[in-house]
Amino acid sequence: MKTDIILAGVGGQGILSIATILGHAALQADLYLKQAEVHGMSQRGGDVMSCLRLSSDPIASDLIPAGKVDLVISLEPMEALRYAHLLAPGGRVITSTEPFVNIPNYPELDKIMAELKALPGTVMLPAEQIAKEVASPRSSNMALLGASAPYIGLPDTALEESIAAVFGPKGEKIVADNIAAFRAGKEYKGQ
């Protein structure tokens, strides 16, 4: 098993929470794990990117070479497009369709969406809307993780147990909301 993932988004969207959950689940499954994070201006709404490498064999580097990324998981469509050129043949983009417009010259959303739709295997979902319907918009990262789950190579039970472990200190309601959002994202059958 080997999965090389780029997690992308904007500061405050929960990308690093996804990385923590995936890392926890990978360690519970006795997999090797390497992670590198680039926070950018995350506290000011800037881009956040994390390389996450999961493997049943030892991993030499935490950085993923261009053309070797299996998954780009992004909470923001422009950020998904920023890293799509790094995909391996057969790689996938899993992205939220809801933009985080934090710059005055944000590109036209229609053009971004058209470029993403042109990529084979792209999964696009309104993660915030899905999370809001079952829990809270703050759980949109878990809806995105749910939509990504079939392509990661970890069992859903391990991911849900990791969600419970990571969010457990925040209380049972937060855990239940995040698991509900994860399941709703996994079940989403839209675009």
Q: Which of 158, 153, 160 is nearest to 28 (CA)?
A: 158
* Kind of pairing between the strands at 69-74 and 47-55: unpaired
Q: What is the pLDDT of residues 53-99, one digit of tens each?
A: 999 999 999 999 999 999 999 999 999 999 999 999 999 999 999 99
The answer to whether 51 and 36 are in contact (CB under 8 A) is: yes
For residues 32 and 37, which has the higher predicted lDDT (pLDDT)?
32
pLDDT in tens, 106-121: 999 999 999 999 999 9
Rounded Cα distance, 77 and 73, in Å: 10
Rounded to the nearest 10 degrees, what angle do helices 140-148 and 172-187 cross at?
40
Which pLDDT band, with edges at 50, 70 and 90, does 190 fall under?
low
Q: What angle do CA 185, 188, 191 make, to 5 degrees?
A: 120
Residue 79 gets which letter from DSSP?
Answer: H
Average pLDDT, the chain: 92
- 103 pLDDT more than 90: no
Confidence of residue 8 (pLDDT cuts 50, 70, 90): very high
| 45 vs 156: which has the higher pLDDT | 156
pLDDT of residue 104: 87
Q: What gap in Å lies between CA 44 and CA 10, rounded to an integer?
A: 9
Query: Which pLDDT score, from 0 to 100, does residue 44 have?
Result: 59
Cβ pair 162, 21 in contact under 8 A: yes
